[in-house]
Amino acid sequence: MADEVLIIDDDARLAAMLGDYLGSNGYSTARAGTGRAGVEEVRRRAPDAVILDVMLPDIDGFEACRQIRAFSDVPVLMLTAKGDETDRIVGLELGADDYLPKPFNPRELLARLKAILRRRGGGADVPRTLRFGRLEIDPGSRTARVDGTARPLTSHQFELLLALAENAGRTLSREQLMDMVKGEELDAFDRSIDVHVSRIRAAIEDDPKHPRRLITVRGAGYVFARNQDDV
């Protein structure tokens, strides 16, 4: 039986688009147009996952998430305002499993949805969290945290960070990174990987201009450095 995803969003056009896209990828979907209706649908339908918009016409997505968490541990993917870090942090603190800023690429939403379903499914298939001192990289939730605080990264950036961290201490060329980050729209020749690395540094490094984690190896690529204080 296909996993059922409940979409709680008052934008009927967006919800229909998501329903069609998820349906073409093997999911069944249902929709609620308000926060209160969404909470009741979770209680009634017990869906496998919830896509929850922050901006709703009655109670907001944060309150809906809080009410859902009072009786269900269903995976919740929150849709937040573009670039609003406060929304993302509050959503995670209230029990959301992941967040995605609007506007978004449906492929990224699908990847994040699969990740939270896999993580909640338990068992040996759940990837382990990587820990390097104050930095944690969780492949299950696709989240990087420093001192326990989630740092905002796009799907491209998280995949790059994960590839580098899984090969800590090994210098990787741009071509190798392209091969590792399968399906992502990265081009080593226009140096877009360099731009992504710069943004990852801004998210996880104490001093991005003098990085201690993501080190440039001139003429060769990048290396994720293991520091002596790593656990």
Picking from 98, 107, 101, 102, the residue whose alpha carbon sits closest to that of residue 22 is: 107
- Three-state SS for 190? helix
> What CATH number does residue 139 fall under?
1.10.10.10
Q: Could you give the number of structural domains in the chain?
A: 2
Same domain, 108 and 136: no
Same domain, 156 and 85: no
Token duo for residue 15? 């919800």
Longest dimension (CA), the chain: 58
**Domain C-terminal end among 121, 151, 169:** 121
Same domain, 113 and 139: no
118 strand-pairing partners: none
Surface-to-core class of residue 5, CB atoms within 10 Å of its CB (0-12 exposed, 13-18 middle, 19+ buried)? buried
Same domain, 104 and 145: no
Q: Which residues of the chain have pLDDT under 70?
A: 1, 82-85, 87-88, 120-127, 182-191, 228-231
Look at the pTM and tell me if it is higher than 0.75: no
Each residue's pLDDT tens digit, 22-70: 999 999 999 999 999 999 999 999 999 999 999 999 999 999 999 999 9
Q: Which domain holds residue 188?
A: 130-224
